[in-house]
């Protein structure tokens, strides 16, 4: 039976660990479930990180969103990662502009997924670092979102903008969208500022903050150059073990252990 959890990893800040989290959580969930990973960032990092050379693919999510390409012919099964991938590359950068005049422009992704949603237990969407039309499409298609946060001074400021955008989306186009949780990424418990920001997050978000913190770990940063999520490349690395724990926390929170 399909569970149909569509989870967006989003934060308009770049370099906070969206792609690293999406890749590693997708790979962990794929050990037990049928998973689709959607790369919604023109930078194509989730595509490269899954071992796909982004400039050689014949069609990408751009063609699905704007050229009516068949999504089934665009999805690539990534055997060594265990999940399917809807890849992206820099063609997607044009989508932002082309979508502006498109009818029902916020619903493009949701409509594209309509025919395949039932094939998957989890659909994971990796967002670009912006509150753009692409991110809006992800928030409209999803029922849950996760916010990776680097515990540093400006982290909370960006968060307020993100949450007010989400609240607009909830009120206008997608009332079923809910915050699954916030992840503390690249966490260094010896750094006083990181601990302070983390305490602020605990105070403001309580149960909505995932208990598992992702430590700063070089293996997480190296893995993309091998075209494999770190949890598959080196499962004993501290970062991999943290993502394994986090994946279990996510499954429990969703009520599917
Ligand atoms: N926990 C971590 N420890 C060390 N490096 C990390 C960690 N998480 C991410 N990185 C690295 O930091 C950079 C930004 O992470 P990334 O996941 O690409 O962020 P985003 O998708 O939000 O832009 C990448 O080079 C990535 O490999
Ligand atoms: Mg990214």
**How many angstroms separate the alpha carbon of residue 166 from the centre of ligand 2?**
19
Query: Which of 15, 134, 146 to mutate for ligand 1's pocket (most ligand atoms within 8 Å of CB)?
Result: 15
Query: Which of 17, 48, 189, 229 to mutate for ligand 1's pocket (most ligand atoms within 8 Å of CB)?
Result: 17
What is the position in ligand 1's atom list of the atom closest to the CA of 126?
21
Q: What pLDDT is stored for residue 157 in this prediction?
A: 85
- The residue contributing the CA closest to ligand 1 atom 16 is 17
Neighbouring CB atoms inside 10 A of 197's CB total 21
In the predicted model, what is the mean pLDDT of the chain? 95
Residues 224-237 have a mean pLDDT of 98
Q: Within the chain, where are the H helices?
A: 18-29, 45-48, 61-66, 92-99, 108-113, 133-141, 155-172, 192-205, 218-222, 230-233, 238-254
Q: What pLDDT is stored for residue 256 in this prediction?
A: 61
Could you tell me which of 13, 12, 19 has the C-alpha nearest to residue 214?
19
**How many angstroms separate the alpha carbon of residue 153 from the centre of ligand 1?**
18
What is the position in ligand 1's atom list of the atom closest to the CA of 215?
1
Could you tell me which of 68, 88, 86 has the C-alpha nearest to residue 77?
86
pLDDT tens digits for range 99-142: 998 889 999 999 999 989 999 999 999 999 999 999 999 999 99
State the Cα–Cα distance between residues 181 and 164, nearest whole angstrom.
16
State the Cα–Cα distance between residues 92 and 19, nearest whole angstrom.
16
What is the position in ligand 1's atom list of the atom closest to the CA of 185?
1
Q: Domain 5-254 - what CATH class? A: alpha beta
Tokens 């968060």, residue located: 159
Q: What pLDDT is stored for residue 9 in this prediction?
A: 98
Our answer on whether the CB atom of 226 is closer than 6 Å to any ligand 1 atom is: no
Ligand nearest to the CA of 46: 2
Residues 159-177 have a mean pLDDT of 94
Residues 181-188 have a mean pLDDT of 98
Neighbouring CB atoms inside 10 A of 224's CB total 20
The answer, yes or no, to whether residue 184 has pLDDT greater than 60, is yes
The answer, yes or no, to whether residue 189 has pLDDT greater than 50, is yes
Cα distance between the two ends of the chain: 14
Q: What pLDDT is stored for residue 237 in this prediction?
A: 98
Burial class (CB in 10 A: 0-12, 13-18, 19+), 27: buried
125: helix, strand or coil: strand
Burial class (CB in 10 A: 0-12, 13-18, 19+), 83: buried
Our answer on whether the CB atom of 129 is closer than 6 Å to any ligand 1 atom is: yes
Could you tell me which of 107, 101, 121, 116 has the C-alpha nearest to residue 1?
121
State the Cα–Cα distance between residues 139 and 166, nearest whole angstrom.
7
- The residue contributing the CA closest to ligand 1 atom 26 is 221
The answer, yes or no, to whether residue 95 has pLDDT greater than 50, is yes
Residues 207-234 have a mean pLDDT of 98
pLDDT tens digits for range 10-44: 999 999 999 999 999 999 999 999 999 999 999 99
Our answer on whether the CB atom of 3 is closer than 6 Å to any ligand 1 atom is: no
**How many angstroms separate the alpha carbon of residue 79 from the centre of ligand 2?**
22
Residues 187-215 have a mean pLDDT of 96
Q: What pLDDT is stored for residue 1 in this prediction?
A: 40
Q: What pLDDT is stored for residue 154 in this prediction?
A: 84
* Cβ atoms 93, 41 nearer than 8 A: no
Domain boundaries, the chain: 5-254
Our answer on whether the CB atom of 18 is closer than 6 Å to any ligand 1 atom is: yes
The answer, yes or no, to whether residue 257 has pLDDT greater than 80, is no
Residues 155-178 have a mean pLDDT of 93
């Amino acid at each position: 039976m399909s569970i149909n959890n569509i989870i967006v990893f989003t934060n308009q800040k770049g370099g906070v660990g969206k792609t690293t989290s999406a890749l590693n959580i997708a790979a962990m969930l794929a050990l037990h479930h049928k998973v689709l990973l959607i790369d919604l960032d023109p930078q194509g990092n989730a595509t490269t990180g899954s071992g796909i050379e982004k400039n050689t693919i014949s069609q990408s999510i751009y063609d699905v969103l704007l050229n009516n390409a068949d999504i089934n012919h665009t999805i690539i099964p990534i055997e060594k990662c265990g999940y399917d991938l809807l890849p992206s590359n820099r063609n997607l950068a044009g989508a932002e502009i082309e979508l502006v005049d498109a009818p029902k422009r916020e619903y493009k992704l949701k409509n594209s997924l309509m025919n395949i949603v039932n094939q998957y237990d989890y659909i994971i969407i990796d967002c670009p670092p912006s509150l753009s039309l692409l991110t809006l499409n992800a928030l409209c298609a999803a029922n849950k979102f996760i916010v990776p946060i680097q515990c540093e001074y400006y982290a909370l400021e960006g968060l307020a903008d993100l949450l007010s955008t989400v609240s607009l989306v909830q009120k206008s186009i997608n009332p079923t969208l809910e915050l699954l949780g916030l992840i503390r990424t690249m966490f260094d418990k010896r750094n006083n500022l990181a601990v302070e920001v983390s305490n602020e997050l605990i105070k403001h978000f309580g149960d909505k903050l995932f208990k598992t913190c992702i430590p700063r770990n070089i293996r997480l940063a190296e893995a993309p150059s091998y075209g494999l999520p770190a949890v598959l490349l080196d499962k004993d690395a501290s970062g991999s073990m943290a993502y394994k724990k986090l994946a279990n926390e996510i499954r429990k929170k969703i009520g599917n252990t």
